[in-house]
Structure 1
Amino acid sequence: MALLALVAFGGLLFDDRVLVGAPIWAKPFKFAVSFVAYCMTLAWMLTLLPRGRRVGWWAGTVVTVTSSIEMVLITMQVVRGRRSHFNHETAFDSAVFRVMGLTIAVLWLAALIIAVLLLRARILDRATAWSVRLASLIALVGTAIGFVMTRPTPEQRAAGDDAGIVGAHSVGVSDGGPTMPLTGWSTTGGDLRIAHFFGMHALQVLPLVVLLLVTLAPRFVRLRDDRVRLRLALVASGTYAALFALVTWQAFRGQALLNPDGATLTAAAAIALLGAGSTWAALRTPNRTETAPAAKEFAS
């Protein structure tokens, strides 16, 4: 994936073709970079398993193979100058997209197996354990958003068998309209890729929160207590899940990310207040009998 990201970056520099309103190499570049982060994080999570490592190895191998097939097909369609997703314009294009759908379904099942192994695993650090478990569950839901994108839009249903494109990223507007720089997300309507991206990358964000807490623990006494770190990890996971639900709800209502209405802003404010209040509660000072053993253990 890292090598393919370099190839796709070269395509962005030297291939000026545009497809559905975006540089034709943008999709393989973004997918490759995303898979680098996704697969490296899964690989690290598998090292946390005290048991079931052989099952985890096979599940990880399935993720590797299916993601590779997906990227080969996306890149092939770029070279051909054809859409890879939702494309049923020819029998060959339709077959390519169906294979892509099958590989992602198998990848999702493999990721589900890894999530179940992590839920059952006894990981010594509880903050790490719960951040990894909840991150894997949120990522599964985020990945599943991709399946929702394959549903036909009202216009496509009206066209029936004549619809060459079946499915869309955008909600309320057509794909290929005005977009945000870099991300390519719609600025005029809802975009399910936002929820898809936000959910999948819980895998990186939530474990990084725990890593930050551990890094700061020598400087802040409260963070030396593993129970405080656990509470903060749970708050971070709950807040992230709420934000994921919010951007998903916003996209399904056909609303652009940067053009929220009153309901979206109210929900965002509620999440911010609950998150801040929960963080304050999680940081409350334990009594001395609770703190001393934890601080001693952390120091050792």
Structure 2
Amino acid sequence: MHRPLKTVAGLMAAIALVSLVGVFVDDRVLVGAPIWLKPFKFAVSIAIYATTIAWLLPRLERRPRTAWWLGTVIAAAMLIEMVIIVGQAARGRQSHFNAGTPLDGALYSIMGATIATAWVATLVIAILLLIQRIPERATALAVRLGILVALGGMGVGFLMTMPTPAQLGQERPTIVGAHAVGVADGGPGLPLVGWSTTGGDLRAGHFIGMHALQALPLFAFALMLAARRIARLRDEWVRTRLIGTFGFFYAGLVVLVTWQALRGQSLIHPDAPTLAAAALLLVLTALGTAWSLAGPRHSPVTVAPAEVC
């Protein structure tokens, strides 16, 4: 496994534990949440992200040196971002969107640069994976769709950096950007994640999208396990189609919750257009699932139960 990414994942696990303790022993609150909750959530997310990228890189067999450098760039970018998040929490300062002082503004700019760098490096990995030959068709599709949807989810984060209408009306705003749409950050939110229950929240699409990188490969793995008991799933074409259908559903869900948030609507209070779009997505997914299970149009490639791993 890629050593720098493995090291970062280990550090993030340690930071997550320390931050979790901080949530209970430090009574400070920032933007409506315990001050150490953000470092905890980011540490967990980065640990998962770093581990997943480290798992993907060996699949770039023809470009091992390029893969190593891409992983190292991502590891460095994530580490720098986390150092700033933890440092700002220790200072009692907001890390994201903070332009209150020259130091805060500089640190936020550095964070923006690290995220952009990680996004570009992930994009290059996605391109290389698209042209890399991966023997197992279903796994290849899961990996490729997963990283493409994850790039879209990461891209939702850039929408948060745009000034809100209220901020645009200020001569020198101390906060530039927001998670919430239509309401101020720090209001009532869902447990743990904190997504707004009174307005839109772009973190929902950002979070769901980013974790396509884990969700789709795990779905492919689950299908391979199920193939031991379900004969229909031993057909590689069937599994590939099911993964394509799940990828369509997952990408559609990211678009749906992001569209909902941009309209200033809470995730838990959908209106009629949102419900109609969700219903359409579910119907199309059900049709895709039925089509996937109906049988391949090409000569089937089967996997015997003993060969599934």
TM-score, length-scaled by structure 2: 0.93
The one of 183, 188, 193 equivalent to 1:183 is: 193
- How far apart are the structure 2 equivalents of 1:219 and 1:290? 22
| Equivalent residue pairs, number | 297
Show the counterpart of 2:232. Answer: 222
3-state DSSP of counterpart to 2:171: helix
3-state DSSP of counterpart to 2:302: helix
- How far apart are the structure 1 equivalents of 2:240 and 2:56? 18
- How far apart are the structure 1 equivalents of 2:72 and 2:209? 22
TM-score, length-scaled by structure 1: 0.96
Maintained 8 Å contact 2:237/2:296: no
Mapped pair 1:248 → 2:258:
yes
Deviation at 1:290, TM superposition (A): 4.2
The one of 294, 297, 300 equivalent to 2:302 is: 294
Show the counterpart of 1:172. Answer: 182
Percent identity of equivalent pairs:
54
Mapped pair 1:98 → 2:98:
no
Maintained 8 Å contact 1:56/1:117: no
Mapped pair 1:149 → 2:160:
yes
- How far apart are the structure 2 equivalents of 1:71 and 1:94? 16
- How far apart are the structure 2 equivalents of 1:183 and 1:297? 40
- How far apart are the structure 1 equivalents of 2:52 and 2:42? 15
Deviation sequence 1:184-242 (CA, Å, 0-9, x none):
11000000011110110000100010000000101111110111111111011011011
Deviates more, 1:167-176 or 1:42-51: 42-51
Maintained 8 Å contact 2:228/2:305: no
1:1-16 map, 5 Å = 1-16=12-27
Maintained 8 Å contact 1:56/1:113: no
Task: In structure 1, list runs of 5 or more residues that go unmatched.
Answer: none
The one of 122, 127, 135 equivalent to 2:146 is: 135
Deviation at 1:138, TM superposition (A): 0.9
Deviation at 1:20, TM superposition (A): 0.5
3-state DSSP of counterpart to 1:47: helix
Show the counterpart of 1:200. Answer: 210
Deviation at 1:50, TM superposition (A): 2.4
Show the counterpart of 1:270. Answer: 280
Deviation at 1:175, TM superposition (A): 0.4
3-state DSSP of counterpart to 1:206: helix
Maintained 8 Å contact 1:50/1:122: no
Mapped pair 1:41 → 2:52:
yes
Mapped pair 1:58 → 2:89:
no
Deviation at 1:160, TM superposition (A): 2.1
